[in-house]
């Protein structure tokens, strides 16, 4: 598996969604795991589901025997059930487009569905991409796909922290937060762009 092979999967970016209020601290400190972000008290607005987080808090990932909350979760497709559940606030949610070559970093994990689900399998090498159900992951809707809700939330788990220079784009729902994105960039080459197609 090489970086060129990622194009076979149509992988322009890996994605992470967050509230616009968290953007400045992410660009300053990097994208942190749940545990690290709470330890440093840098989360201003939490969009995660408390019930799901309670489940994830009790899980340990295979291979490395670390808490799931010690990993930064990234998605292959951000237009998924997690975002759908928060669609009433999606104008305030920004979607970070990250360098897909993060898949070649050490200690990453790839899942074939939501990492909190019992049925989900974990893999630790990018070669495992060919084992993922891409038709289901890329589908615009999961409602008519068997186990689609879980599969659409397939993840890449990155240990502890992702440096800000791995963030290439900040995608947003509308022009509403254009100035906030420009301010949060803090002189970095990160670009902001309206991508309504990534939302509901």
Q: Where are the domains of the chain?
A: 3-198
> What is the chain's mean pLDDT, rounded?
95
Question: Tell me, what's the pLDDT at 7?
Answer: 83
Sign, CA dihedral 179-180-181-184, equals: positive
Over 90: is that where the pLDDT of 5 sits?
no
Overall average pLDDT of the 122-135 stretch: 95
Q: What is the tens place of the pLDDT at every residue in 12-55?
A: 999 999 999 999 999 999 999 999 999 999 999 999 999 999 99
Percentage of the chain modeled with pLDDT above 70: 100
With tokens 């060919």, the residue in question is 130
What are the tokens at 32?
A: 């942190």
Question: Tell me, what's the pLDDT at 135?
Answer: 96
Residues, the chain: 200
Per the annotation, the verdict on 138 as an active-site residue is no
Per the annotation, the verdict on 91 as an active-site residue is no
Q: Strand 161-162 vs strand 31-32: parallel, antiparallel, or unpaired?
A: antiparallel
Overall average pLDDT of the 8-13 stretch: 90
Confidence class for position 4, pLDDT limits 50, 70, 90 = confident
The DSSP result for 80-120, as a single string, is: SHHHHHTGGGGGGEEEEEE-GGGGGSTT-EEESS-TTSTT-
Question: Tell me, what's the pLDDT at 118?
Answer: 95
Classified as helix, coil or strand, 163 is coil
Number of neighbouring beta carbons within 10 Å of residue 40: 11
- Listed range (3-17, 26-40, 115-129) with the worst mean pLDDT: 3-17
Let me know the angle formed at the C-alpha of 110 by 106 and 112, rounded to the nearest 5 degrees.
Answer: 175
Q: What is the tens place of the pLDDT at every residue in 81-113?
A: 999 999 999 999 999 999 999 999 998 999 999
Over 90: is that where the pLDDT of 1 sits?
no
What are the tokens at 3?
A: 């970086």
Q: What is the tens place of the pLDDT at every residue in 151-169?
A: 999 999 999 999 999 999 9
Q: Is the CB of residue 193 less than 8 Å from the CB of residue 12?
A: no
Looking at 56, 66, 79, 150, which residue is catalytic?
A: 56
Question: Tell me, what's the pLDDT at 2?
Answer: 82
pTM of the model: 0.96
Instruction: Say if residue 139 is exposed, middle or buried (CB neighbours under 10 Å; 0-12, 13-18, 19+).
Output: middle
Q: Strand 14-19 vs strand 93-98: parallel, antiparallel, or unpaired?
A: antiparallel
Let me know the angle formed at the C-alpha of 32 by 26 and 36, rounded to the nearest 5 degrees.
Answer: 125
Looking at 66, 150, 155, 185, which residue is catalytic?
A: 155
Question: Tell me, what's the pLDDT at 145?
Answer: 97
Percentage of the chain modeled with pLDDT above 90: 92
Question: Tell me, what's the pLDDT at 3?
Answer: 78
């Amino acid at each position: 598996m090489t970086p060129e092979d990622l194009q076979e999967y149509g992988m322009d970016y890996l994605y992470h969604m967050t509230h616009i209020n968290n953007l400045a601290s992410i660009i300053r400190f990097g994208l942190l795991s749940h545990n690290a972000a709470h330890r440093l008290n840098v989360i201003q607005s939490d969009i995660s589901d408390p019930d799901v987080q309670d489940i994830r808090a009790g899980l340990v990932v295979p291979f490395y025997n670390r808490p799931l909350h010690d990993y930064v979760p990234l998605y292959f497709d951000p237009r998924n059930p997690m975002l759908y559940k928060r669609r009433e606030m999606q104008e305030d949610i920004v979607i970070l487009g990250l360098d897909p070559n993060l898949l070649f970093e050490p200690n990453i994990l790839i899942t074939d569905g939501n990492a909190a689900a019992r049925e989900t399998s974990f893999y630790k090498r990018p070669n495992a991409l060919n084992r993922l159900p891409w038709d289901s992951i890329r589908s615009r809707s999961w409602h008519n796909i068997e186990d689609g809700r879980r599969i659409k939330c397939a993840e890449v788990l990155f240990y502890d922290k992702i440096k800000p220079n791995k963030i290439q784009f900040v995608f947003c729902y509308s022009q509403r937060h254009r100035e906030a994105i420009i301010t949060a960039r803090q002189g970095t080459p990160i670009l902001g762009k309206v991508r309504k197609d990534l939302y509901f």
